[in-house]
């Protein structure tokens, strides 16, 4: 699919430095966008105010260092709050929002509904009367209720064609739109922001594939573009040597770590390209060359195990 008027994006959370797994996902998002003629936009997902303010700048710097570019300035998600509030108001006016006072422990302790996916919200607060809600608000004060989406009864669970995983059939529950502390939930923000930025191609790690059906539900309820007008590609994660998702405990995994161990950004790009079958071992590559070689159908479908600096540096 070409997207001359569309855009792809990368949306990092500035919770620390990007590691090679994040860089690889960003590289793929960039290749998907550029190879299909799309613009490529950057959005810093900084809604969680506890995050390190300097991390966003370092992340963007690292993305540039490996040769990625994006159109326009990076957008800060924290500046898009008005759109988030408007979307929640709109859903509330349609009767699709309710207050929830459950804690995580309440949810775990509640009997789950038959056929509900594991961990699904059991619906405890869904049908409370106004009087019950007022009592609940008092009961949990000073904590405040979260807001959940009331998924319309009988709404079919969305299915979509993922560019990497093929047909995905989703499961949905009444998920949180706004947390009790007032922070807008990722699932709401991502949908509103992608639509506001004109994103029609979402490439991200496949740990988020189970969230996408929720996003499609919101797109439909808010009248925003959804598949097939928006395409999704959930890319395999990078694993550490113990088989779990790559993390700091796996040693030198950020660009800064690798630089101090003697690996240049060009070298890291080459190793990532090789892991995607876009470069031969030891070949030095330029990002534009990767766009020319890029074929979504030929991408590896399984997770890549980070070989460690010594092996990456000698491959």
- In the complex, which residues of this chain contact ligand GLU (CB under 6 A)? 11-13, 45, 190, 204, 208
CB 15 → ligand GLU: shortest distance, Å? 8
Cα–Cα distance between 254 and 300 in angstroms, integer?
22
Contact 180, 154 (CB under 8 A): no
CB 142 → ligand GLU: shortest distance, Å? 29
Cα–Cα distance between 109 and 127 in angstroms, integer?
19
Q: How far does Cα 223 stand from its chain's mean position?
A: 21
Query: Which candidate, 145, 237, 163, places its Cα nearest to that of 200?
Result: 163
Cα–Cα distance between 124 and 120 in angstroms, integer?
11
CB 78 → ligand GLU: shortest distance, Å? 13
- In eight-state DSSP terms, residue 174 is -
CB atoms within 10 A of CB 269: 23
CB 153 → ligand GLU: shortest distance, Å? 28
Closest to ligand GLU by CB, 12 or 240: 12
Residues that constitute the known binding site for L-glutamate = 9-13, 45, 186, 204
CB 211 → ligand GLU: shortest distance, Å? 8
Residues that constitute the known binding site for ATP = 248
Closest to ligand GLU by CB, 47 or 269: 47
Closest to ligand GLU by CB, 43 or 150: 43
* Chain residue whose CB lies nearest ligand GLU: 204
How many secondary structure helices (H) and strands (E) does the chain include? 11, 12
Task: Write out the DSSP string of 5-49.
Answer: T-EEEE----SS--BHHHHHHHHHHHHHHHHTT-EEEEEE---ST
Closest to ligand GLU by CB, 12 or 227: 12
Closest to ligand GLU by CB, 29 or 276: 29
Under 8 Å CB-to-CB from 189, ≥6 apart: which residues? Answer: 45, 47, 77, 80, 84
Contact 127, 95 (CB under 8 A): no
CB 47 → ligand GLU: shortest distance, Å? 9
Closest to ligand GLU by CB, 11 or 42: 11
């Amino acid at each position: 699919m070409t997207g001359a008027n569309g855009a792809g994006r990368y949306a990092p959370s500035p919770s620390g430095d990007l590691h090679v797994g994040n860089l690889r996902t960003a590289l793929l998002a960039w290749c998907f966008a550029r190879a299909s003629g799309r613009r490529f936009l950057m959005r810093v997902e900084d809604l969680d105010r506890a995050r390190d303010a300097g991390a966003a700048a370092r992340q963007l710097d690292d993305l540039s260092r490996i040769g990625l570019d994006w159109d326009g300035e990076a957008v800060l998600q924290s500046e898009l709050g008005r759109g988030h509030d408007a979307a929640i108001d709109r859903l509330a006016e349609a009767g699709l929002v309710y207050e929830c006072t459950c804690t995580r422990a309440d949810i775990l302790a509640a009997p789950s509904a038959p056929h509900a996916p594991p961990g699904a919200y059991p619906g405890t607060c869904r049908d409370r009367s106004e009087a019950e809600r007022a009592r609940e608000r008092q009961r949990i004060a000073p904590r405040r209720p979260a807001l959940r989406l009331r998924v319309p009864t009988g709404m079919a669970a969305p299915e979509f064609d993922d560019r990497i995983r093929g047909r995905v059939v989703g499961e949905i529950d009444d998920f949180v739109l706004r947390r009790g502390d007032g922070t807008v939930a990722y699932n709401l923000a991502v949908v509103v922001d992608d639509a506001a930025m004109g994103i029609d191609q979402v490439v991200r790690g496949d740990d988020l594939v189970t969230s996408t059906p929720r996003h499609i539900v919101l797109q439909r309820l808010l009248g925003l573009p959804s598949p097939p007008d928006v395409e999704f590609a959930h890319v395999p994660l990078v694993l550490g040597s113990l088989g779990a998702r790559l993390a700091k405990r796996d040693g030198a995994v950020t660009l800064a770590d690798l630089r101090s161990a003697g690996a240049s950004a060009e070298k890291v790009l080459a190793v990532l390209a090789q892991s995607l079958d876009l470069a031969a071992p030891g070949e030095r590559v330029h990002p534009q060359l990767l766009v020319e070689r890029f074929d979504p159908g030929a991408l590896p479908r399984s997770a890549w195990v980070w070989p460690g600096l010594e092996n990456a540096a000698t491959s």
